[in-house]
Amino acid sequence: MRRETIINAALAIGLLAIPLWAHVTGEIFTITLSTRVAILALAAVGLNLALGLGGLISFGHAAYFGLGGYAMGILAFHAQNYDPIFTWPFVFAGTKQMLVIWVVALIVSGLAAFVIGMLTLRTSGAYFIMATLAFGQMLYYLFVSWPKYGGEDGMSIYLRNDFPGVNTLDPIQFFLICYVLLMLGIFVSWRIARSPFGLALQASRQNAERVETVGITPFRIRLAAFVISGMITGLAGALMADLNRFVGPTMFSWQTSGEIMILVILGGVARLYGPVAGAALFILLEHWLGGVSDYWLAFVGALLLLVVLFARGGLIGSLAGREVAHD
């Protein structure tokens, strides 16, 4: 077995075993931390598809994270007020059903990624980074100035949403939902990386001109990847909103975009389990160092610098070594 496979398995099992153990010993807080890891990792799995495989340095993935969050917030808000979202051309009521909320979150963030991708993917380098950032900020200000949905203060959802057959208020049960979705997200990105589409995407990152001369349009490949990437991050946003039972415009902030990117880089760009490693490290540092000093983010910054300078493969890369050629 490849070394990276063993590390991946250890991460997957560890992320499951720790909260289960915490459940047995009654440490609710550890379960909540693990849930945060799973959700942030899922958001980063989304970005990793665009950034890692596609080389698309999106500094605006908060847009999809926020849209997923607000998809949940708005649907649940209308459901708890018994007030339909719109009545024409058909009645669209709010809902407390996670399954419906997820579908809406996936659609909304996918559409947004499609539009934003259409407009930004013609640019590259610093322009692309700035353009994606600009769209994230636009949505941030849109929701800050939208009083109906809480404006700057955001809005609270009093009860966690429902999932058939699951008591979502039980921390371990909600964790398991998030964990399963994370594993699904990883599975999807694993399949994509090995698919013809994934091959074209990775080739477009390395040598777009060559890709064109074999009859493939890099722009369309990138757009499709960007949409899938946005959808996965959007789903994570909906879960995060449910974990916190709160949505606020900071979900859209550029700091959020930066945080998701930091997770990917810390864990290892383009590595399948990089997002999981990155999210786990980030949350652990936040938990340990956050208690020691308010300036814990400075430590994260220093760590990030070390990774970028000396360990391009991130945590996974330094543990597993150079990526080997696929079978």
**Taking the complex as a whole, how short is the minimal distance between the CB of residue 201 and other proteins, in angstroms?**
9
Q: CA 239 to CA 211: how far, in whole Å?
A: 37
The nearest distance, CB 53 to other proteins, in angstroms, is 11
CB of 191 to other proteins, least distance (A): 5
- What gap in Å lies between CA 67 and CA 230, rounded to an integer? 10
- Total of chain residues touching other proteins, rule CB under 8 A: 27
Strand pairing category for 155-156 and 246-247: antiparallel
Site for other proteins in 229-248 (CB under 8 A): none
Nearer to other proteins, 203 or 304 (CB): 203
**Encoding tokens for residue 201?**
């995407």
Using rule CB under 8 A, residue 265 touches other proteins: no
Q: For residues 139-198, which are near other proteins according to CB under 8 A?
A: 191-192, 194-198
Q: How far is the CB of 87 from other proteins (least distance, A)?
A: 37
Backbone angles phi, psi at 168, to 5 degrees: -70, -15
| Residue carrying the six token digits 């945060």 | 36
Smallest separation, CB 228 to other proteins (Å): 8
- Between residues 224 and 315, which has the closer beta carbon with respect to other proteins? 224
Q: How far apart are CA 234 and CA 65, in angstroms?
A: 5
Segment near other proteins (CB under 8 A), from 71-79, 125-133, 213-221, 280-288? Answer: 213-221
DSSP secondary structure of 46-100: HHHIIIIIT----S-THHHHHHHHHHHHHHHHHHHHT--SB-SSS-B----BHHH
The one among 221, 265, 300, 307 contacting other proteins by CB under 8 A: 221
User: Which of residues 2, 3, 122, 210 is near other proteins by CB under 8 A?
Assistant: 210
211, 232, 235, 264: which one binds other proteins (CB under 8 A): 211
Nearest residue to 237 via CA among 37, 107, 53, 42: 42
Q: Rg of the Cα trace of the chain? A: 19
- Binding region for other proteins (CB under 8 A) out of 135-143, 203-211, 231-239, 272-280: 203-211
Question: Please, are residues 11 and 277 in contact by the beta-carbon 8 Å criterion?
Answer: yes
What's the closest the beta carbon of residue 180 comes to other proteins, in angstroms?
19
What are the residues binding other proteins (CB under 8 A)?
191-192, 194-200, 202-203, 206-207, 209-217, 221, 224, 325-327
